[in-house]
Amino acid sequence: MTVCLIRHGQTRGNLERRYIGSTDQPLCPQGREALAGLHPPDVDKVYTSPLLRCRETAALLYPDMETEVVPDLRESDFGAFECHTYEELKDDPAYQAWLDTAGALPPPGGEDRGTVRDRVSGAFLSLATRHRPTDRIALVVHGGTIMTLLEAFEASHQFYAWQAPNGGGYRCRWTGNALADVEKFSCLI
Protein backbone atom coordinates (compact mmCIF):
# COMPACT_ATOMS: atom_id res chain seq x y z
CA MET A 1 0.00 0.00 0.00
CA THR A 2 1.23 3.50 -0.82
CA VAL A 3 1.01 5.92 2.10
CA CYS A 4 1.31 9.69 1.69
CA LEU A 5 1.95 11.50 4.97
CA ILE A 6 1.02 15.16 4.41
CA ARG A 7 1.53 17.91 6.96
CA HIS A 8 -1.24 20.49 7.26
CA GLY A 9 -0.87 24.02 5.90
CA GLN A 10 0.40 26.92 7.98
CA THR A 11 -1.44 28.33 10.97
CA ARG A 12 -0.80 31.55 12.83
CA GLY A 13 0.88 29.47 15.54
CA ASN A 14 3.25 27.96 12.94
CA LEU A 15 4.17 31.43 11.69
CA GLU A 16 4.88 32.52 15.26
CA ARG A 17 6.78 29.28 16.02
CA ARG A 18 4.43 28.28 18.85
CA TYR A 19 3.69 24.81 20.21
CA ILE A 20 0.11 24.32 19.01
CA GLY A 21 -0.26 20.55 19.40
CA SER A 22 -3.79 20.09 20.72
CA THR A 23 -4.84 23.71 20.22
CA ASP A 24 -7.45 23.71 17.47
CA GLN A 25 -6.22 26.49 15.19
CA PRO A 26 -7.48 27.07 11.65
CA LEU A 27 -5.19 27.68 8.71
CA CYS A 28 -4.01 31.27 8.49
CA PRO A 29 -4.60 33.25 5.27
CA GLN A 30 -1.00 32.57 4.15
CA GLY A 31 -1.52 28.86 4.75
CA ARG A 32 -4.72 28.78 2.70
CA GLU A 33 -3.09 30.78 -0.08
CA ALA A 34 -0.06 28.49 -0.22
CA LEU A 35 -2.29 25.41 -0.59
CA ALA A 36 -4.66 26.87 -3.20
CA GLY A 37 -4.47 25.10 -6.55
CA LEU A 38 -1.78 22.61 -5.56
CA HIS A 39 -1.57 19.08 -6.91
CA PRO A 40 -1.12 16.59 -4.08
CA PRO A 41 -0.36 12.92 -4.73
CA ASP A 42 -3.22 10.90 -6.25
CA VAL A 43 -4.82 8.68 -3.65
CA ASP A 44 -7.87 6.45 -3.22
CA LYS A 45 -8.71 7.44 0.37
CA VAL A 46 -7.95 10.44 2.63
CA TYR A 47 -7.71 10.26 6.41
CA THR A 48 -7.22 13.27 8.65
CA SER A 49 -6.65 14.34 12.22
CA PRO A 50 -9.73 15.78 13.90
CA LEU A 51 -8.06 19.17 14.33
CA LEU A 52 -9.35 21.96 12.10
CA ARG A 53 -6.03 22.76 10.40
CA CYS A 54 -5.83 19.19 9.06
CA ARG A 55 -9.47 19.00 8.00
CA GLU A 56 -9.15 22.35 6.19
CA THR A 57 -5.95 21.23 4.46
CA ALA A 58 -7.54 17.95 3.34
CA ALA A 59 -10.54 19.86 1.95
CA LEU A 60 -8.25 22.21 0.01
CA LEU A 61 -5.95 19.49 -1.34
CA TYR A 62 -8.65 16.89 -2.04
CA PRO A 63 -11.85 18.94 -2.61
CA ASP A 64 -13.69 16.15 -4.41
CA MET A 65 -12.86 13.38 -1.94
CA GLU A 66 -14.61 12.45 1.26
CA THR A 67 -12.23 12.38 4.20
CA GLU A 68 -12.40 10.21 7.27
CA VAL A 69 -11.46 11.77 10.61
CA VAL A 70 -9.27 9.55 12.81
CA PRO A 71 -9.14 11.00 16.35
CA ASP A 72 -5.92 9.22 17.35
CA LEU A 73 -3.96 10.83 14.48
CA ARG A 74 -4.06 14.17 16.32
CA GLU A 75 -0.90 16.00 17.34
CA SER A 76 0.79 15.71 20.74
CA ASP A 77 -0.74 17.54 23.65
CA PHE A 78 1.97 19.92 24.84
CA GLY A 79 0.11 20.68 28.08
CA ALA A 80 1.41 23.81 29.81
CA PHE A 81 3.67 24.53 26.81
CA GLU A 82 0.72 24.91 24.38
CA CYS A 83 0.66 28.24 22.51
CA HIS A 84 4.08 29.27 23.82
CA THR A 85 7.35 29.78 21.94
CA TYR A 86 10.84 28.61 22.80
CA GLU A 87 11.72 32.19 23.76
CA GLU A 88 8.81 32.31 26.21
CA LEU A 89 9.70 28.95 27.75
CA LYS A 90 13.52 28.76 27.62
CA ASP A 91 14.00 29.77 31.28
CA ASP A 92 11.31 27.40 32.61
CA PRO A 93 12.97 24.43 34.41
CA ALA A 94 10.11 22.09 33.42
CA TYR A 95 10.57 23.04 29.77
CA GLN A 96 14.33 22.50 29.99
CA ALA A 97 13.77 19.06 31.59
CA TRP A 98 11.36 18.15 28.77
CA LEU A 99 13.90 19.22 26.13
CA ASP A 100 16.71 17.35 27.90
CA THR A 101 14.74 14.08 27.64
CA ALA A 102 13.71 14.71 23.99
CA GLY A 103 10.08 14.40 25.03
CA ALA A 104 10.43 11.15 26.98
CA LEU A 105 9.03 13.02 29.97
CA PRO A 106 5.64 14.63 29.36
CA PRO A 107 5.25 18.39 29.52
CA PRO A 108 3.22 19.41 32.59
CA GLY A 109 -0.33 18.32 31.79
CA GLY A 110 0.68 16.92 28.38
CA GLU A 111 1.65 13.67 26.64
CA ASP A 112 5.03 11.96 26.54
CA ARG A 113 6.40 10.57 23.26
CA GLY A 114 5.71 6.97 24.22
CA THR A 115 2.02 7.67 24.78
CA VAL A 116 1.80 9.54 21.49
CA ARG A 117 3.65 6.74 19.66
CA ASP A 118 1.25 4.10 21.01
CA ARG A 119 -1.81 6.18 20.11
CA VAL A 120 -0.68 7.17 16.59
CA SER A 121 0.81 3.76 15.71
CA GLY A 122 -2.33 1.97 16.85
CA ALA A 123 -4.50 4.24 14.70
CA PHE A 124 -2.29 3.68 11.66
CA LEU A 125 -2.21 -0.09 12.08
CA SER A 126 -5.99 -0.13 12.33
CA LEU A 127 -6.24 1.81 9.05
CA ALA A 128 -3.65 -0.35 7.31
CA THR A 129 -5.68 -3.52 7.91
CA ARG A 130 -8.55 -2.00 5.91
CA HIS A 131 -6.54 -1.67 2.70
CA ARG A 132 -5.16 -3.85 -0.08
CA PRO A 133 -1.51 -3.69 -1.17
CA THR A 134 -2.49 -1.74 -4.31
CA ASP A 135 -4.37 1.00 -2.42
CA ARG A 136 -3.03 4.55 -2.11
CA ILE A 137 -3.95 6.52 1.00
CA ALA A 138 -3.18 10.00 2.32
CA LEU A 139 -2.96 10.95 5.97
CA VAL A 140 -3.32 14.72 6.32
CA VAL A 141 -1.90 15.18 9.76
CA HIS A 142 0.66 17.03 11.89
CA GLY A 143 4.45 17.23 11.78
CA GLY A 144 4.70 15.34 15.06
CA THR A 145 2.33 12.63 13.82
CA ILE A 146 4.44 12.14 10.70
CA MET A 147 7.68 11.97 12.70
CA THR A 148 6.06 9.52 15.13
CA LEU A 149 4.87 7.18 12.37
CA LEU A 150 8.21 7.15 10.58
CA GLU A 151 10.12 6.69 13.82
CA ALA A 152 7.89 3.73 14.70
CA PHE A 153 7.76 2.00 11.32
CA GLU A 154 10.77 3.10 9.21
CA ALA A 155 14.00 1.12 9.61
CA SER A 156 16.20 3.93 11.00
CA HIS A 157 13.78 4.72 13.88
CA GLN A 158 14.92 8.36 13.82
CA PHE A 159 12.30 10.81 15.15
CA TYR A 160 13.87 14.16 14.28
CA ALA A 161 15.02 13.06 10.81
CA TRP A 162 11.44 13.21 9.52
CA GLN A 163 10.48 16.86 9.85
CA ALA A 164 8.07 17.96 7.12
CA PRO A 165 7.26 21.50 6.01
CA ASN A 166 3.68 22.72 5.96
CA GLY A 167 2.06 21.30 2.83
CA GLY A 168 4.82 18.73 2.39
CA GLY A 169 5.49 15.23 3.58
CA TYR A 170 6.58 11.76 2.63
CA ARG A 171 5.40 9.09 0.22
CA CYS A 172 6.23 5.55 1.30
CA ARG A 173 5.22 1.93 0.94
CA TRP A 174 3.60 -0.09 3.73
CA THR A 175 5.04 -3.61 3.66
CA GLY A 176 2.69 -5.01 6.28
CA ASN A 177 5.06 -4.27 9.15
CA ALA A 178 7.20 -1.32 8.03
CA LEU A 179 7.18 1.91 6.05
CA ALA A 180 9.78 1.53 3.30
CA ASP A 181 11.02 3.41 0.23
CA VAL A 182 10.39 6.75 1.95
CA GLU A 183 10.53 9.71 -0.43
CA LYS A 184 10.11 13.36 0.56
CA PHE A 185 7.72 15.49 -1.48
CA SER A 186 6.07 18.89 -1.37
CA CYS A 187 2.56 19.78 -2.48
CA LEU A 188 3.95 23.30 -2.84
CA ILE A 189 5.87 22.46 -6.02
Binned at pLDDT 50, 70 and 90, residue 165 comes out as: very high
Average pLDDT, the chain: 95
Give the model's confidence band at 75: pLDDT under 50 very low, under 70 low, under 90 confident, else very high: very high
Q: Is the pLDDT score of 117 beyond 80?
A: yes
> Can you give the pLDDT at residue 126?
97
Q: Which of 37-46, 71-80, 126-135 has the lowest mean pLDDT?
A: 37-46
Domain count, the chain: 1
Q: Distance (Å, rounded) from C-alpha 19 to C-alpha 14?
A: 8
Query: In this structure, are residues 3 and 172 in contact, taking their beta carbons and an 8 Å threshold?
Result: yes
**pLDDT at residue 185, rounded to an integer:** 84
- 166-176 confidence digits (pLDDT tens): 999 999 999 99
What does the pLDDT look like over 2-15, one tens digit per residue? 999 999 999 999 99
Judged against a pLDDT cut of 90, whether residue 56 lies above it is answered with: yes
Overall average pLDDT of the 31-58 stretch: 94
Looking up residue 159, the CATH number of its domain turns out to be 3.40.50.1240
Classify burial at 173, counting beta carbons within 10 Å of its beta carbon; exposed 0-12, middle 13-18, buried 19 or more. Answer: middle
Domain span including residue 43: 2-186
